[in-house]
Amino acid sequence: MSNSNSAAFDTWIKALSRKEVKKGTVLINREGTAKKSPKCPNCGSWIQHWETLSENGAPSAGNCAVVDCNGKTEDGKPAEIVGCHVMIKDDTDKKVYIAPLCTCCNNKADGTELVLSRDVTLVRANVQETCGKLAHEEDA
């Protein structure tokens, strides 16, 4: 594949992987997903997976997008932002996404509802349909 075709393919895959959600959207935490897949096999971590596909920079610590989250750990330090596995409540596609949320929100029980305090870009968690295609194309 030529460089221009490869770049166009990468842009297309990234666009298909993203979903913009609005302030007030309710996400459902998917606890236990990190045990099955503790890191993205292609990107190195789930937050790196989010950064790669969303094309957004790394979120700063303590900058969680969940209503009523102060973005701090129990000892008052800014909570690290990680790639949190979530689903969108009442969304018919039932796909799992990665959202850039703090470790405190990420560690909530499975099924916990997380209401967004601002607009957020989600990216699909399915690596075969997202970064796996990018990695495959780069190796080809």
pLDDT tops 90 at residue 140: no
pLDDT tops 80 at residue 73: yes
Give the global pTM.
Answer: 0.85
For residue 103, the Cα-to-chain-centroid distance in whole angstroms is 13
Please list the residues that pair with 121 across neighbouring strands.
20
Range of the domain at 55: 3-139
CA nearest neighbour of 95 among 24, 27, 35: 27
Question: What distance in Å separates the CA atoms of residue 17 and residue 123, rounded to the nearest whole number?
Answer: 5
What band does 69 get if pLDDT is binned at 50, 70 and 90?
Answer: very high
What value does the mean pLDDT of the chain take? Answer: 85
What average pLDDT does this structure show over 127-138? 71
Q: How many domains does the chain have?
A: 1
Neighbours of 97 (CB within 10 A): 26
What average pLDDT does this structure show over 30-36? 69
